[in-house]
Structure 1
């Protein structure tokens, strides 16, 4: 069944940013909202991962420093794809650090010192929260027949689950069962 191509609502998107899509306006709005929250959390997770990369200490410094750096690079690498997906379907995306702060669901960590084991647990749990949000966004994308967003999320879920696995195993190496 061919759906008519519909432009995003002129009331929500400036005419110059209007993007043609065959998704309903309700679908665009709900998918965009879910993806923008994921994007805000992705930026928050990136910054926390880099914070821990810069401030990790202890006997496993080198391994954790490198793992946090690799994970931070991977996390940052997803931001453009998430934001561009929102634009492709006719939505708008984040414009500022302030907007990230309003939308993020992950808690910041501004502590002067965080033990390595706590860093591992916190990042593991934050990645699990992001996976949960991605699964929920996948359900929304499925509801509105947005297979491209669903497919993108599937790849990002797999990558985040890998980060959870690595963080869990590294926490075990610290002599603690982080389950």
Structure 2
């Protein structure tokens, strides 16, 4: 019953990642790293658990997405600490902005559970 509303919310959440992903990839390149940016590479290197494709209830999918979104934000917080320990304030600033966006989108996602 919530299909259209959730579909739009998922589209918005996915689109909100375009710029932060691009900025992060640029930062990795600037620092001399290799950007592993294909979907296959992302799946291979992700530590996030798969969402069970047998879930058919819209609100259950929202909960599963919120859990993984929250986990991603926490990984970013750890990355902020690592960058700070390395003295890389530019990366700290970038990752802080990305985390702020993740937290905002998590709030939007979790609003569907209210």
TM-score (structure 1 length as normaliser): 0.58
The answer to whether the 8 A contact 1:117-1:171 is kept is yes
Q: Distance in 2 between matches of 1:77 and 1:115?
A: 30
**Any stretches of 5+ residues in structure 1 without a counterpart?**
1-57, 173-179
Deviating above 6 A after TM superposition, structure 1's stretches of 4 or more consecutive aligned residues are none
Kindly state the Cα deviation for residue 96 of structure 1 after the two structures are TM-superposed: 4.1
Larger helix percent: 2
Distance 1:98 1:63 in 2: 28
Contact 2:83–2:89 under 8 Å retained in 1: yes
The residue number in structure 2 matching 1:139 is: 81
Change (3 A) 1:87 1:101: same
Write the distance in 2 (CA, Å) between the matches of 1:86 and 1:169. 33
Secondary structure of the structure 2 residue equivalent to 1:171: coil
The answer to whether the 8 Å contact 1:124/1:163 transfers is no
Matched, 1:108 2:50: yes
Task: Note the 1:22-41 alignment, pairs <5 A.
Answer: none
For the 8 Å contact 2:62–2:113, the answer to whether it is kept is yes
Conserved 8 A contact 1:127-1:160: yes
Report which of the two structures shows the higher radius of gyration computed on alpha carbons. 1
Matched position secondary structure for 2:25: helix
Instruction: Give the equivalent residue in structure 2 for 1:129.
Output: 71
Note the alpha carbon deviations across 1:4-34, whole angstroms, 9 max, x for none.
xxxxxxxxxxxxxxxxxxxxxxxxxxxxxxx
* Root-mean-square deviation (Å): 1.7
Question: What is the alpha-carbon distance in structure 1 between the residues aligned to residue 58 and residue 96 of structure 2?
Answer: 30
